[in-house]
Chain A
Amino acid sequence: MDNQSIFKYSWETFPKKWIHKMERSEHGNRSDTNTDYPFPLLCFLKLHTYTRVQVSIDICGVDHPSRKRRFEVVHNLLSTRYNSRIRVQTSADEVTRISPVVSPFPSAGRWEREVWDMFGVSSINHPDLRRISTDHGFEGHPLRKDLPLSGYVEVRYDDPEKRVVSEPIEMTQEFRYFDSASPWEQRSDG
């Protein structure tokens, strides 16, 4: 069973209320689902004989600030048995909580911590939800599009206090935005 036939099979077998739409492209197949359903969907994918998706490769958050449900959580999955990959996507906004997939996929624990840390999308009943990459007193969720690239605070070691302090950032040169309006003519058709 190759990539496309798993996709077609699962499209036919899934309960329709689980998925919004499924899309296939040459760059990988994806299926979109609602926030309540990643857990049953992924359990199905993992345990069902003809899909056997046993490996959660990656859980990724994406921020589209222009949409109403601005965050999108993407689960990248791999089936070693059938050598095929599939993506499951869920949309959430700042206060929606998604279901964790740690019990079928133990490797997802840290990915969900990272999605929480970087975007602020938390999981209900996650065994261990705390920050993973940012500093211990960091406020904010870095990978959201509204946090600027340089952040808001900078840290330095303060000798009188003998510890590291955080201070509002001081930019010695203006932020260089490498604008796409290049001296050459634009490539896009417009």
Chain B
Amino acid sequence: MPVPATRKDLMIVNMGPQHPSMHGVLRLIVTLDGEDVIDCEPILGYLHRGMEKIAENRTIIQYLPYVTRWDYLATMFTEAITVNGPEQLGNIQVPKRASYIRVIMLELSRIASHLLWLGPFMADIGAQTPFFYIFREREFIYDLFEAATGMRMMHNYFRIGGVAADLPYGWIDKCFDFCDYFLTGVTEYQKLITRNPIFFERVEGVGIIGGEEAINWGLSGPMLRASGIQWDLRKVDNYECYDEFDWEVQWQKEGDSLARYLVRISEMAESIKIIQQALEGIPGGPYENLEVRRLDRARDYEWNDFEYRFISKKPSPTFELSKQELYVRVEAPKGELGIFLIGDRSVFPWRWKIRPPGFINLQILPQLVKRMKLADIMTILGSIDIIMGEVDR
């Protein structure tokens, strides 16, 4: 839709790869007519690290440290999908306790990711205070992760067939304390932000996406749910053990940045609900399907037989991917994260294609900023919630 130009020459401004909001290295070339935006062109590729080609030369267990670097704020999801692929290829069952631990970790990671979306989003709009508040809560999550996995951010926790280590003693009680504390934190954000008139002025009606348009452009995650489509892979696909908990899909109807904000805030509260239910119901049992580590899976030996070989500490690198193709997906906090995996009867995958949610969600940016003012670009870009680590891979 052509916007009437008020001047003869349009100004082309480069919002360069480095800019202060924490979206990563994204370059936007914006064509301006005064304050109105005529067009905006994102240029990607500044953080391309060749993750897909590296994957063709590493076994799954060797590749796990790389995957947390795609979406470095919601790291458990990338790990979850990396192990889900081979698990589905090899039809490996995950024990119940491992599934519950995974769900707890995934939901904690979702909260962490939404928190670190909220901080820079508010900082882009102009509110400096939430940026500090979110780190306070995120530090608690980091502490929980560090106690369970050993690392604050780039945990190498998920394994094919379960998780790497069991939860330490007392972790569950600490997690309960965190859940109770976090609910008060969410009310604090509601009081500070959601009823703030300045926030409403900046965010309401900005960047509206209709439901049909959202589906056409392939959006997923909170962007889709804020436009009125109740599509959540956790409900639709029923992976891990999400169907054993009682929770609702959070969605809004308007499709503007305010709706996306509300969806993410309520998703955080919903995740706490899921975590609490999971913590109450966590079963005992093994935390890893140790059969995966058993060598020589072709010949089925009896346990403790003379020829039954089992290495307990080091995982066997010979987990062979069969010659099949598979598309596996999870509901990451940013959208639908997917891996298209082609195995080749060897330990290395033949093709490992990462389908990042941010890559697709970013495509709609030039559409959305066309009639907006310059200051709205940052609001819209913030509400799309992209991480360049996964967009560029």
Contacts and interface: CB of A to CB of B under 8 A. Distances in A.
Contacts of A63: 351
Interface string B45-76: 10010101110111100100000000000000
A187 B300 CA distance: 12
B391 to A, nearest CB: 9
Interface residues of B, number: 53
Interface string A99-119: 000000111011000000010
Contact of B351 (A25, A62, A149, A180): A62
Interface stretch (A7-15, A35-43, A50-58): A50-58
A172 interface: no
A97 to B, nearest CB: 21
A187 B309 CA distance: 12
Contacts of A56: 218
A25 B231 CA distance: 25
Contacts of A57: 218, 327, 336, 338, 355
Contact of B218 (A85, A105, A149, A178): A105
A143 B342 contact: no
B215 A187 contact: no
Nearest to B89: A27
| A27, A110, A180: most-surrounded residue (chain B CB, <10 A) | A27
Contacts of A55: 215-216, 218
A60 interface: yes
A83 interface: yes
Contacts, number: 120
Q: What interface size band does chain A fall in? A: 35 or more
Given A142-B53, A143-B52, A188-B345, A58 B327 contact: yes
A135 interface: yes
Interface string B315-349: 01111100011110000000010101010011110
Interface in B276-330: 295-298, 309, 311, 316-320, 324-327
Contact of B317 (A62, A107, A182, A189): A182
A80 interface: yes
A27 B215 contact: no
A58 B353 contact: yes
Given A106-B216, A131-B45, A184 B311 contact: yes
A187 B318 contact: yes
B79 interface: no
The SS class assigned to the B binding surface is loop
Given A133-B45, A134-B48, A105 B216 contact: yes
Contacts of B325: 27-28, 30, 74, 87
Contacts of A180: 59, 317-318, 346-348
Nearest to B336: A57
Contacts of A185: 295-296, 309
Nearest to A110: B363
Given A107-B363, A133-B44, A149 B57 contact: yes
B326 A28 contact: yes
Nearest to B329: A57
A175 to B, nearest CB: 9
Contacts of B58: 178
A76 interface: yes
Nearest to B85: A27
